Structure 1
Amino acid sequence: MIEIAGMQMEDLAEVAAIEKSIFSQPWSENGFAASLQSKDTLYLTARLDGKIAGYCGFLQSFDEADITNVAVKESCRRRGVAETMLAELIKRGAARGVTAFTLEVRRSNAGAIALYEKLGFVNCDIRRNFYEKPAEDAVIMWKR
């Protein structure tokens, strides 16, 4: 069973380790800590068998939220973790007054794009050369 909870300071070492294992330009533990301290953010963790399997979060500005992080540990993929935690993030965001969510995703990340479309996001534009290491365009997606 997937357990979703608000990210806590004691989760940050594990979250940062997952981040480093997945992304070429990972957020640091301090970066996550600073984000957790803001009233304009919401970060969640997903646990399988008591261990963090993934995390996600957003930065809210009035009634819009920019989903800044979505990650699932390699060994925990294809088990519904990302879909479950994003659905919960959207639900909790709506409870905070968010009516529109946006995110960027690598153009080549077909699996993530398909998941976001399943959750109601639509491709709205391309952000040229958004990513580095390797350089790649981002697909800008919105859910309203």
Structure 2
Amino acid sequence: MIQIRLMTKADIDQVSEIEKITFSMPWSKEALLQSLEQKGSIYLVACEEEKIVGYCGLFNIVNEGNINNVAVLNEYRGRHIATAMLKKLIEFGNQAQITAYTLEVRTSNEPAIQLYLKFGFTIEGIRKNYYENPTEDAYIMWYYPQGVSR
């Protein structure tokens, strides 16, 4: 059974491994630790017993949640873990008075785009050549949980 909880410093090694497997330009352990310790940040892990199988996080910047990573190990995909993590992340964000959420996603990452659209995110712009290895544009997506609009 998968459980979702707040990330701790003790989780950094396993999260770092997921980061390396998932992203072409992974964050270092030091960057993950700094992000976890940043004031207003919210990071979650999805665990099956002692094994971390996914994680996600955001920075709370003046009541806007900048979602920076959502990752699930390949062998655990298709089990709605990212959906559960994102739901919980937004619940924590709402408790912290976040009124809008934003993220960037590769324009080719159709599964992630579909997930975000299901949550009510909308594509509101493109960042040209945002990603490296390979170079690719990013969609800028926003979500306003209580009908708030810009």
TM-score of the aligned structures, taking structure 2 as reference length: 0.93
Matched, 1:56 2:56: yes
The CA distance in 1 between the partners of 2:49 and 2:107, in whole Å, is: 32
> Using the alignment, how far apart are the partners of 1:38 and 1:128 within structure 2?
28
Backbone CA RMSD of aligned residues: 0.8
1:60-113 per-residue CA deviation (whole Å, 9 max, x = no partner) reads 111101001110001110001000000000010000000100000000001100
Partner of 1:88: 88
Report how many residues are paired: 144
CA distance in 2, matches of 1:28, 1:66: 19
Aligned partner of residue 52 in structure 1, secondary structure: strand
* Other structure's SS at 1:108 match: coil
Runs of 4+ residues over 6 Å off in structure 1: none
Aligned-partner Cα distance in 2 for 1:13–1:56: 15
Which sections of structure 2, spanning at least 5 residues, go unmatched? 145-150
Q: Does 1:116 align with 2:147?
A: no
Q: In the alignment, residue 140 of structure 1 is paired with which amino acid? A: I
Unpaired segments ≥5 residues, structure 1? none
Structure 2 CA distance for aligned equivalents of residues 126 and 136 of structure 1: 10
> How far apart, CA to CA, are the structure 1 residues paired with 2:28 and 2:134?
19
Cα distance in 1 for residues equivalent to 2:48 and 2:80: 11
Deviation at 1:22, TM superposition (A): 1.2
**What is the aligned-residue identity percentage?**
47
TM-score, normalised via structure 1 length: 0.97
Partner of 1:28: 28
